[in-house]
Amino acid sequence: ETGVTQSPTHLIKTRGQQVTLRCSSQSGHNTVSWYQQALGQGPQFIFQYYREEENGRGNFPPRFSGLQFPNYSSELNVNALELDDSALYLCASRPSPTGGTGELFFGEGSRLTVL
Amino acid sequence: GDSVTQMEGPVTLSEEACLTINCTYTATGYPSLFWYVQYPGEGLQLLLKATKADDKGSNKGFEATYRKETTSFHLEKGSVQVSDSAVYFCALSDQDYGQNFVFGPGTRLSVLP
């Protein structure tokens, strides 16, 4: 059983640039969510995707957007990068959007540094 | 909105000492409660969970009981090991009101030999 994988693991961008982060969900999982974890803080929910549509969103501006593909993999796109976007971005998958055990399965994250 | 509060860290203990990390929550519905652990350089892993009041979650010697009357879910272990050194996150998922998890700020635990 393949777990959640994310790429790239580290990247450095400059303010104003755009970034795309990628995530492959765990086998059998159709729901993917993204979290932002700033240094020394807990993860903050960005959004969740199910059946290729966003079905939940946290308090993040529209320059944070995403996609989910038919194979359930997902992308997180951030436009007009700001210094405060520097963080570890975590992807998590689960078998369904609600119910079940409710457990999230996390990847190891993509660490973004904005200079 | 929903929120989770954890005791401030870092926590430093000697091997075989007892551990308690306090966690309290605020939720509008009937959430499930979780403890996740993050080892250095890794993503978060589920440690234990409880889905209704009075449930006790347990794993790897860690325990936590869902206390609805005190809105708490404190993490305990009777004898910690050096390998338990990590950051511990308390979290809730309120399935009736949203799809997301709400995490606490995390508590860093260091266990010294």
pLDDT in tens, A10-40: 999 999 999 999 999 998 889 999 999 999 8
In the numeric block, which tokens belong to residue A105? 């399965």
Instruction: Give the type of residue at A45.
Output: F
CB–CB of A48/A32 below 8 Å? yes
Confidence at residue B7, expressed as pLDDT on a 0 to 100 scale: 87
Question: Is the minimum CB–CB distance between B97 and chain A shorter than 8 Å?
Answer: no
pLDDT tens over chain B, length 113 residues: 889 999 888 999 999 999 999 999 998 878 899 999 999 888 899 999 998 899 999 999 999 999 999 999 999 999 999 999 999 999 998 765 456 789 999 999 999 99
Q: Does A60 touch chain B (CB under 8 A)?
A: no
Can you give the pLDDT of all 115 residues of chain A as single tens digits? 678 999 999 999 999 999 999 999 998 889 999 999 999 899 999 999 998 999 889 999 999 999 999 999 999 999 999 999 999 999 999 887 775 567 889 999 999 999 9
* pLDDT (0 to 100) of residue A93: 92
Q: Cα separation of B8 and A40, whole Å?
A: 11
pLDDT computed for residue B99 by the predictor: 62
Q: Is A85 helix (H, G, I), strand (E, B) or coil?
A: helix
Give just the sign of the alpha carbon dihedral B62, B76, B104, B92.
Answer: positive
Contacts of B45 in chain A (CB under 8 A): 106
Q: What pLDDT does A101 receive? A: 60
Of A41, A50, A56, which is closest to B105 when you measure between CB atoms?
A41
Give the pLDDT score at A10: 96
Place of tokens 């190891």: A108
**Interchain contact, B102 vs A45, CB within 8 Å:** yes
CB contact under 8 A, B95 and A45: no
Confirm or reject contact between B102 and chain A (CB < 8 A): yes
Min Cα separation A109/chain B (Å): 6
CA atoms of B88 and B90, how far apart (whole Å): 7
User: A15 vs chain B: nearest CA distance in angstroms?
Assistant: 25
- Contact residues on chain B for A101, CB-CB shorter than 8 A: 49, 51
Q: Which residue has the tokens 């009101």?
A: B97
**Cβ-based neighbour number of residue B5 at 10 Å:** 15
CA-nearest residue of chain B to A104? B46
Contacts of A61 (CB under 8 A, 6+ apart): none
Residue B66: C-alpha distances to residues A9, A23, B78, B92 (Å): 36, 33, 18, 11
Burial A33-70 (b: 16+ CB within 10 A, else e): bbbbbeeeebbbbbbbbbeeeebbbbeeeeebbbebee
